[in-house]
Every structure is written in structure tokens, then in C-alpha cells.
Amino acid sequence: MIELLQKVRVIDPVSKIDELFDVLIADGYIQEVASHITDISPDTPIRDCRGLVIGPGLVDLYSHSGEPGFEERETLLSLLQSATAGGFTRISILPNTSPAIDNPALVAQLQQKRHGEMKQREKINSAPPAPPASPASPLPLLHIWGAITLDIAGKQMTELADLASAGVVGFSDGEPLENLALVRRVLEYVQPLGKPIAFWPSDRQLSANGVMREGADALRFGLPPIPASAETSAIAAMLELVATIGTPVHIMRVSTSRSVELIASAKAAGLPITASTTWMHLLLDTKAVKSYNTSLHLDPPLGNSSDVAALRAGVRAGVIDAIAIDHTPYSYEEKVQAFAEAPPGAIGLELALPLLWQYLVETEEFTALELWRALSTSPAECLGQKVSAIVPHQPAELTLFDPEQIWKVERKSLYTLSQNTPWLGQQIKGHVVQTWC
């Protein structure tokens, strides 16, 4: 299969390029990148890509799969298709399934399931008709986080070495681990395994029954508050352990301005840490909760305006390495409750790139390179992986994006089985055209 993309805007964080080029792709590889490609066979398909953007395939650090156990929320296939439609060529799922991904057998089962879905996709060579991603787009690579503790209960450590041998991408419970003695022991055990380990620092005693970031808006809306110190005190404790033991750590779901300061200081001191925030924490603040839309009930909660500003500055500066999607599907029935009673989380794989581009790049707060780096090369580096530059003879792991296409977020336009997003029913701008993987 060969194709020439003409006059496409190439955004390559590896080469630090943002320019118009022709790109020739053949048999899964980039054959040529040049201002004007003319040396092609007469039967080569040519696509006019003026106005389109191409960059390395997006990489999601962590999201949630409904399967196994909660297939009414999301199956593995719908998750992978949703990721493809959002421009992701790699996705990593957290272990909080039912049963939890805390043993090699379940890791193998999910890997085989993904392999089977890929074979079926190749056989029929088409996608479901309603969602908009190109039928030619392959399913993304699936990476699996192995649980740190059995049944992600925070009490007994899993067989980390066995999970590493089974091929997990790294270790994380995706839930707060408050037993610091256990955290210390885990950091010692995981060090020789050479796999990333990710923690979500959060003090549940300080959070108590809170559902919204502490501040004037929480008082105004009458919702139980969560102090910023619930996050920052836990991050400070984690940083002390990293300084003592030296095991590299990824800090998930950073959501406060003070957290950004702590991480910046730790990096300046040479601590081996990386960090991520989620895409919704970059776009919305506590004022959005005025609607009481349960898709805005997140954990950690949306920050105050000063938190959002600090997170954006942190991503641009590289203090916050990556933007995670943290796609968290729930059924309609689960989310139709009072705000404080609904489970926290929102979908995002198909929405993140369009909305981040619309509200950060088009407003010129971020450059296109800064956003694409935080969604592709930097998440890969946090996972200990690499993303190839868009140059000849490299594999074509790419995302083609139309920043001007307008579409409506509704059930028939989404691959995901769930609809828990505050943008449901709204028109947004920006759509993925195709991925190569």
C-alpha cells in the first residue's frame, strides 16, 4: 500500500519541525518527506492534505477498560476503536478491572484478545459505519499496567517479577496507596525490574467525602470540598521516598498549582520523576461545576483557575511531562445521580485532541509542537518507549488530523459505549482523519 500526502502540515516534536511537506508512505514506512515529491509511479494514490495536520501517533499513558467485568461500560474492542478515532496509536489500560489485572494469566488473556480483534479487523477490513475514523485505520497497540497490590486493595504486593515477565508496560494500582511502608518496599522491589511505576498521590483522610476542589466555588455550589493538601502532602511524602531510594517514579493526575511547584523543585534537585495531568484539568476549572453535570465529577477534582494556569504552564515548560486522557467510561444509569453520589470520571479518547487544539493551540496559548509533544513523544518517554521522527525509513506510526472539521458529540458519532462527557450534544471543531500504526 502506497500513498502520497501532499501539502500536509508536519508537526514532529522529535525533529522540532512544524512545516508544510509532501509525505510518501509505503508498506507501513515513511519513504520520503520533502517540499515537493514528484518521483512517484503514475498509479500512486495522491491525497490533497492542505489544511490537515500530521504528527506522530498519540500515546495515552493511562485509561480504563470496562472489560473484563464491566462490559456494559466499555469492551476492549470499543476502547481500542475509540482510541483509534481519537488519534491514539498506543493506549495503556489501568488494572482496576474485575478481576483486577494482578496476575500474568489475565495479562495474557487481554493480549490475546487484542490480537484476536486485530486479526478480525484485518479480515473484514472495515470499521462500524457510524463513527468517523477511517476504516483503514488499524487498532492501536495495547499496553497493560500490572497492579502493584493484589486486587488493587493496597495491602499485599503482587508478584511484580512475574507480571514483568508477562509483558506489562509497568506497575500501577491507579488508586492511592497510603501505606508508605508498603510504597517504600515496592520501590525497592521494582528497581531491578526496569519497568515504570506510577502512583496517584492522594490522602483519602484529607479528601474525606469531598467531591470538589476547596475554594469559593465549592462554597457557592454547596458541595463538599477537597483541600489541595490532600494531593500535595501525598506528593511530598512520595518525593521523600524517591529521594531516599532512588527508584524512578511517575506521578499521575497532578491537579494543583502547589503540586507543580513541588515537582519542579524535585526535578531541579535531580530526582528521577516524571508527571502527568489529565486533559480535562487543562481545559476546565471549578466554575464549570455550576452546571452540576456529573461528568464534571472527577477525581482529583477540577482545580481553581490558578491551578489550571499552573498546570498549563507546567506542561509547556515540561515540568508536567505528559497529558493523559484517563478515559473513564460509565453507563448512563451510573451517572444519573446527584453530583456527589455519581462515580467520578469522564470519557475522553475521541475528544481530547480536538478540544485541546481548539482551546489551547488556536488561542495561541500553546504551540502545536508543545501540545503534540505532550500527547505523543513525552507520554512514550514516561513509559520507557520511543516515538520515531517523521523522516524517511522510519515506521509510519502517524495521526492525520483536520483541525477545522466540525462535528457533533453524540452517541452515533462515538465508538465508546459510554456517553459521560460534559460535551455531549455539543458541536466541537477538530477531527482525526486517519491513523497509521
Q: Which CA distances in Å does 181 have to 188, 208, 336?
A: 11, 22, 39
Residue among 53, 52, 55 at smallest CA distance from 15: 55
List all residues 6 or more positions away from 265 whose beta carbon is below 8 Å from its beta carbon. none
Please say whether the beta carbons of 288 and 302 come within 8 A. Answer: yes
Where does residue 313 rank: exposed (0-12), middle (13-18), buried (19+ CB within 10 A)?
A: middle
Q: For the chain, state the CA radius of gyration.
A: 21
For residue 331, give the 3-state DSSP assignment: coil
Q: Distance of alpha carbon 2 from its chain centroid, rounded?
A: 30
286: region left, alpha or beta (phi > 0 left; psi from -120 to 50 alpha): alpha
Output the DSSP codes for 118-148. Answer: HHHHHHH----SSS-S-TTPPPPEEEEEEPS
- 269-285 as b/e: b if 16+ CB within 10 A: eebebbbbbbbbbbbbb
All three cell numbers of 274 = 516524571
**Catalytic site residues?**
326
Please name the residue that has the C-alpha cell 466554575. Answer: 287
Single-letter residue type at 363: T
All three cell numbers of 252 = 499521575
All three cell numbers of 357 = 487544539
All three cell numbers of 10 = 508536519
Single-letter residue type at 391: V
DSSP bridge partners of 84: none
51: region left, alpha or beta (phi > 0 left; psi from -120 to 50 alpha): left
Residue 227 CA to residue 229 CA, distance in Å, equals 5
| Cis ω before 99 (30° cut-off from 0) | yes
Please say whether the beta carbons of 415 and 69 come within 8 A. Answer: no
Residue 382 CA to residue 239 CA, distance in Å, equals 17
Residue among 292, 280, 275 at smallest CA distance from 381: 275
